[in-house]
């Protein structure tokens, strides 16, 4: 196991903090403690669990500015986005603090007078979570909140790039009164910790947000002990702009989706399919607005696009852009970089590509950067076929004011999240998640607590004997 994890600022390359990586023994101990504390926590009444979750949310809000600064420094996202993410993170805790009190069972009419049937819910057990760097607060609370609300205990391994935000959140949970062994953080490198989690007899559920390849490994390795799995994986969101779309709205909402977190979200617009009759107007208006986006250090006032997270992400983005250009794509703006491998910072300027085709990597592989390729279509069926052609099925967006077009697209797009004239669909009260290779399960909404619950039924006999 690695001894320490160097946490650096992706905007400057500067070392923020060295974090000790937990040893295998320390991780096993955390899992054992999480398992042993499960019995008591799962028997804590739902209203008490709810009360403690609300205290945790309050504590986080009291430390909002500090948390946002930590998040911007380690992830690179602009400060206003980090402040927004703190609110997004607590919105999941607030939502599940209430859902804890609504875990209803039911009775079933028996087929004889001497029997009664009662259905009830119980928490699955110790949950092990692995979270990504792009939303180090919200991706953790989106898992921890329903887990704790359901009565599960929780151990999380944050991404090596951004452990500090998660560590602070867990510290605040303990300050709020959630017992130390009920929610824990361990640090380490994914492949090493992942194996410990999936092989542990104490862990009853794995929940993961990250790349599809890693998700597949975790699903495979969870089979040995038949663990529950929840997977929020990669995406490749299409944006369909129909001939009758409000172009100004489509431009505004496509930018909102594409450039949030420098394009490093799993539901970012990854390709735009524009009806051929309006592509010139759309591309011109879009490019004009994209050129206005301010690139810089997320701590600087006014920054809208920060650096990408690391060299691996940078190289993937540059490779996709160069591939597209080599296959005929036209650059309408951007395709500029401010990178220094020695210092470890990698800025990618927002880029719009036109005349893109299906043979380009960028139309098939998740970009995770501020690059927007535009292609065209003639018929809606063609747009749907292109949209559904990747292995992903997380988010899709379309712009039209015609209800027949809207209903057709909603019913024919194979995606778990669809924005109709809306580029920002995420909300704690809605079930976030994907189809196909974008994942298993939902997070948020009434659906989001189900993955943390088992269902059992009691059949009582001999009542009138």
Ligand X SMILES: NC(=O)C1=CN([C@@H]2O[C@H](COP(=O)(O)OP(=O)(O)OC[C@H]3O[C@@H](n4cnc5c(N)ncnc54)[C@H](O)[C@@H]3O)[C@@H](O)[C@H]2O)C=CC1
Q: Residue 117: which of ligand LO4QSZO4, ligand X, none does it interact with, CB under 5 to 8 A by kind?
A: none
262 binds, among ligand X, ligand LO4QSZO4, none (CB under 5 to 8 A by kind): none
User: CB 215 → ligand X: shortest distance, Å?
Assistant: 7
21 interacts with ligand X by CB under 6 A: no
Encode 210-245: b = buried (16+ Cβ within 10 Å), e = exposed: bbbebbebbbebbeeeebbbbbbbbbbbbbbbbeeb
Q: Are 296 and 306 in contact (CB under 8 A)?
A: yes
Q: Which is nearer to ligand X, 131 or 230 (CB)?
A: 131
Interface map 294-333 toward ligand X (x if CB under 6 A):
-------------------x--x-----------------
In the chain, count H helices and then E strands. Answer: 14, 22
Question: Which of 398, 418, 371 lies closest to 258 in space, CA to CA?
Answer: 371
Structural element, H or E, at residue 270: strand 269-275
Site for ligand LO4QSZO4 in 426-445 (CB under 6 A): 426, 432
- Which of residues 41, 135, 346, 347 is near ligand LO4QSZO4 by CB under 6 A? 135
CB 283 within 8 A of CB 250: no
Cα–Cα distance measured from residue 36 to residue 202, given in angstroms and rounded to the nearest whole number: 9
Q: Cβ(55)–Cβ(47) under 8 Å?
A: no
Going by the DSSP 8-state scheme, the letter that residue 103 receives in this structure is -
**Contact between 130 and ligand X per CB under 6 A:** yes
Among residues 182, 116, 118, the alpha carbon closest in space to that of 148 is found at 182
Q: 3-class DSSP state for residue 17?
A: strand
Q: How far apart are CA 448 and CA 207, in angstroms?
A: 12
Site string for ligand LO4QSZO4, 260-279 (x = CB under 6 A): -----xxx------------
The pair of three-digit structure tokens given for residue 14, joined into one six-digit string: 């500067």
* Using rule CB under 6 A, residue 395 touches ligand X: no
Kindly tell me which of 210 and 334 has the beta carbon lying closer to ligand X: 210
* Nearest residue (CB) to ligand LO4QSZO4, 233 versus 279: 233
As measured in angstroms, the least distance from the Cβ of 406 to ligand LO4QSZO4 is 22
Do the Cβ atoms of 349 and 335 come closer than 8 Å? yes
Tell me: does residue 409 bind ligand LO4QSZO4 (CB under 6 A). no
Catalytic residue numbers read 232, 266
CB of 81 to ligand X, least distance (A): 15
Q: Give the footprint of ligand X on residues 178-237 (CB under 6 A).
A: 190-191, 194, 209-211, 214, 217-218, 232-234
Residues that bind ligand LO4QSZO4 (CB under 6 A): 134-135, 138-139, 209, 265-267, 426, 432
Residues that bind ligand X (CB under 6 A): 130-134, 159-160, 190-191, 194, 209-211, 214, 217-218, 232-234, 266, 313, 316, 366, 368
């Amino acid at each position: 196991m690695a001894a320490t994890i160097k946490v650096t600022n992706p905007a400057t390359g500067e070392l923020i903090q060295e974090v000790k990586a937990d040893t295998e023994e320390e991780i096993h101990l955390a899992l054992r403690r999480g398992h042993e504390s499960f019995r008591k926590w799962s028997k804590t009444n739902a209203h008490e669990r709810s009360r403690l979750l609300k205290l945790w949310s309050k504590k986080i809000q009291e430390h909002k500015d500090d948390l946002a600064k930590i998040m911007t420094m380690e992830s690179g996202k602009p400060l206003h986005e980090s402040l927004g993410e703190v609110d997004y993170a607590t919105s999941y805790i607030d939502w599940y603090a209430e859902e804890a009190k609504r875990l209803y069972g039911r009775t079933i009419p028996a087929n004889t007078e001497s029997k009664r049937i009662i259905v009830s819910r119980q928490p699955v057990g110790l949950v092990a979570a692995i979270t990504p760097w792009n939303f180090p607060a919200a991706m953790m609370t989106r898992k921890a909140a329903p887990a704790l609300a359901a009565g599960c205990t929780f151990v999380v391994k944050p991404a090596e790039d951004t452990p500090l935000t998660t560590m602070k959140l867990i510290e605040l949970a303990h300050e709020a009164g959630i017992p130390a062994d009920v929610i824990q953080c361990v640090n380490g490198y994914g492949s090493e910790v992942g194996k410990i989690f999936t092989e542990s007899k104490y862990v009853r559920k794995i929940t993961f947000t990250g790349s599809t390849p890693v998700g597949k490994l975790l699903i495979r390795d969870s089979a040995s002990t038949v663990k529950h799995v929840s997977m929020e994986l990669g995406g490749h969101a299409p944006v369909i702009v129909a001939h009758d779309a409000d172009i100004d709205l489509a431009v505004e909402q496509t930018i909102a989706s594409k450039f949030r977190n420098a394009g490093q979200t799993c539901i970012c617009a990854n390709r735009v399919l524009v009806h051929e009759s309006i592509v010139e107007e759309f591309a011109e208006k879009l490019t004009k607005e994209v050129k206005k986006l301010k690139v810089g250090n997320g701590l600087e006032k006014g920054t809208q696009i920060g650096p990408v997270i690391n060299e691996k992400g940078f190289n993937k983005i540059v490779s996709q852009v160069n591939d597209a250009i080599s296959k005929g794509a036209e650059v309408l703006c951007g395709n500029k970089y401010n990178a220094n491998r020695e210092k470890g910072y990698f800025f990618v300027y927002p880029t719009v590509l036109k005349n893109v085709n299906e043979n380009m990597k960028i139309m098939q592989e998740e970009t995770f950067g501020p690059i927007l390729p535009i292609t065209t279509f003639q018929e809606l069926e063609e747009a749907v076929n292109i949209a559904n052609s990747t292995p992903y099925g997380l988010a899709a967006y379309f712009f039209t004011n015609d209800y027949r077009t809207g209903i057709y697209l909603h019913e024919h797009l194979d995606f778990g999240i669809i924005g109709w004239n809306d580029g920002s669909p995420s909300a704690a009260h809605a079930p976030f998640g994907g189809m196909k290779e974008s994942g298993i399960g939902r997070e948020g909404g009434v659906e989001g607590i189900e993955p943390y619950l088992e269902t059992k039924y009691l059949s009582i006999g001999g009542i009138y004997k």
